[in-house]
């Protein structure tokens, strides 16, 4: 994920930079620095935090499309396992 994708994700949720930073547990400056990196890849920790926020927003807004594709795939796989009576 690069800075542009991070900004798009934040805007999709309708969040300000301050709100997104707070949800990610980052200072506004740290968040801003990731977002303004443009096409440069953000650090792995910030990506994981953004994906966690995306999952949380998808659940709270009742819209699975808000989750990032890789998180959505993992959630679908987990849901299938939970629905399988042999696995529980």
57 inside domain: yes
Banded model confidence at residue 85, pLDDT cuts 50, 70, 90: confident
Whether 71 is in a domain gets the answer: yes
The answer to whether residue 88 sits within a structural domain is no
| 75 within some domain | yes
- Give tens-digit pLDDT for 5-58: 999 999 999 999 999 999 999 999 999 999 998 889 999 999 999 999 999 999
Number of domains composing the chain: 1
Question: Is the distance from CB of 22 to CB of 49 less than 8 angstroms?
Answer: no
What's the CATH number where 25 sits?
Answer: 1.10.260
**Domain of 15, in residue numbers:** 3-83
Overall average pLDDT of the 64-86 stretch: 91
pTM, rounded to two decimals: 0.84
Is 78 within the bounds of a domain? yes
């Amino acid at each position: 994920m690069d800075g542009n994708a991070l900004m798009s994700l934040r805007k999709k949720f309708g969040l300000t930079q301050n709100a997104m930073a707070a949800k990610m547990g980052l200072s506004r400056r740290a968040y801003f620095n990731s977002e303004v990196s443009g096409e440069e890849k953000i650090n792995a920790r910030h990506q994981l935090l953004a994906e966690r926020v995306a999952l949380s927003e998808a659940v709270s807004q009742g819209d699975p499309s808000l989750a990032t594709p890789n998180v959505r795939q993992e959630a679908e796989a987990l849901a299938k396992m939970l629905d399988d009576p042999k696995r529980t």
